[in-house]
Amino acid sequence: QQPVQSPQAVILREGEDAVINCSSSKALYSVHWYRQKHGEAPVFLMILLKGGEQKGHEKISASFNEKKQQSSLYLTASQLSYSGTYFCGTLLGSNYQLIWGAGTKLIIKP
Amino acid sequence: DAGVIQSPRHEVTEMGQEVTLRCKPISGHDYLFWYRQTMMRGLELLIYFNNNVPIDDSGMPEDRFSAKMPNASFSTLKIQPSEPRDSAVYFCASSLESLNTEAFFGQGTRLTVV
């Protein structure tokens, strides 16, 4: 039931792009994305509520493909501040629990 | 608002002792969540409350764990008796309206049971 995130880790140079995927074996109601820096609390990025919906904030955006039961997080022109572990959380329905993926560790090098 | 406030930030205790973790959610938030994070198991939702009422505690690992929310501004997570495998970072989070809104996390309590 836990969503599968890929890749597990990625190392980039500043300015490069990255894609993080989150896949579920069950139909999804919504997908939540958070970033956590080492030793800190997770911080909200975005929630995708509808199939096919894309949301974005500056150079971080995400898509939600309801049919494929997956979501992708896009980081363009990555900055050093993007480093951290990215988690997706999936909700199967309004009365279900939020289940978290294992996380994708992103390392940005100057 | 100061955000979600957790105490203590660090707790070291001996196996068998009772441990109480505390959380003050953001004022006006209707939902409160308790999470546990470990390297092995990742981020796990233990229990969540809506308007002070426990809604889903299926993530609570054992009867040794209990959580209460006596009022809208305070919640506790208690482990009695504690065991070394309970060592983890425990996060409290709150959100405004539902499971489908942004959750604000506290800074966490790092619990070490020796």
Tens digits of residue pLDDT in B69-81: 999 999 999 999 9
Which tokens hold the place of B81? Answer: 């008796």
The predicted structure's pLDDT at residue A28 = 86
Measured CA to CA, the distance from residue A56 to residue A59 in angstroms comes to 7
Q: Residue A98: pLDDT band by 50, 70, 90 thresholds?
A: confident
Q: What single letter denotes the amino acid at residue A68?
A: K
How far is A51 from chain B, CA to nearest CA, in Å?
15
- Nearest-by-CA chain B residue for A37: B107
Higher pLDDT, B47 or A98: B47
What whole-number percentage of chain A has pLDDT above 70? 91
Please write the tens of the pLDDT for every residue from B33-43.
999 999 998 99
What is the pLDDT confidence band of residue B12, given thresholds at 50, 70 and 90?
Answer: very high
**Three-class DSSP category at B66:** strand
Q: The tokens of B92 are what?
A: 């409290």
Query: What is the tens place of the pLDDT at every residue in A9-54?
Result: 999 999 999 999 999 998 888 999 999 999 999 999 999 986 666 6
Interface of B with A in 8-67 (CB under 8 A): 42-45, 48, 56, 58-59
Of B59, B101, B106, the CB nearest to A41: B106
| Residue in B with minimal Cα distance to A41 | B107
Task: Answer whether B100 sits within 8 Å of A44, measured CB to CB.
Answer: no
B99:A99 CB<8 A: no
- A-B contacts at Cβ under 8 angstroms: 44
- Tell me if A53 sits within 8 A of A81, measured CB to CB: no
Q: Give the pLDDT confidence score for residue B1 in this predicted structure.
A: 66
- What is residue A20's predicted lDDT score, i.e. its pLDDT? 97
Q: Do A99 and B102 touch (CB under 8 A)?
A: no
Task: Report the gap between the CA of A76 and the closest CA in chain B (Å).
Answer: 23
- What pLDDT, on the 0 to 100 scale, is given for residue A53? 66
What CA–CA distance (Å, rounded) separates B90 from B71? 20
Nearest-Cα residue of chain A relative to residue B90: A41
Q: Tell me which chain B residues have a C-beta less than 8 angstroms from the C-beta of A32.
A: 103
Looking at A13-17, A68-72, B17-21, B22-26, which range is the least confident one? A68-72
Higher pLDDT, B87 or A92: B87
Q: Å from B107 to nearest chain A CA? A: 5
User: Mean pLDDT lowest for which of A22-26, A27-31, A79-83, B27-31?
Assistant: A27-31
What is the model's pLDDT at position A52?
61
Phi, psi of A61 (to 5 degrees): -135, 170
Confidence bin at A58 (pLDDT 50/70/90): confident
Q: How confident is the model at residue A97 (pLDDT cuts 50, 70, 90)?
A: confident
Cβ pair B43:A42 closer than 8 A: yes
